[in-house]
């Protein structure tokens, strides 16, 4: 994650970042809050970010993430 955030094409841009905490269908899956804490996402201060709990097989959580990303992109355009 640090490598991505420090990449020259990304570092100084306010690009929204969407994270999916996938595999939420598994009994021992971590919550999106726990994944966020483990990745220290709260330290990302210069870019909007969002984390969604998801189950890609069932499609759960994907729409929420896509809507958030659409809103972020639309906000940049206005």
Provide the token pair at 42: 């709260």
- What residues have CB less than 8 Å from 57, skipping those under 6 apart? 25
2-77 is a CATH 3.30.300.30 domain: no
Give me the residue spans of the domains in the chain. Answer: 2-77
- What pTM was computed for the model? 0.86
State the binding site: 22-25
Q: How confident is the model at residue 78 (pLDDT cuts 50, 70, 90)?
A: confident
Per-residue pLDDT reduced to its tens digit, 20-72: 999 999 999 999 999 999 999 999 999 999 999 999 899 999 999 999 999 99
Burial (CB < 10 A; 0-12, 13-18, 19+), residue 52, is: buried
State the binding site for GTP: 22-25
């Amino acid at each position: 994650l640090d490598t991505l955030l420090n990449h020259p094409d990304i570092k100084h841009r306010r690009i929204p970042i969407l994270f999916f905490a996938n595999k939420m269908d598994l009994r021992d899956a971590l919550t999106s809050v726990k994944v966020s804490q483990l990745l220290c996402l709260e330290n990302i201060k210069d870019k909007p970010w969002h984390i969604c709990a998801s189950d890609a097989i069932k499609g759960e959580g994907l729409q929420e993430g896509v809507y958030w990303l659409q809103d972020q992109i639309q906000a940049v355009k206005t």
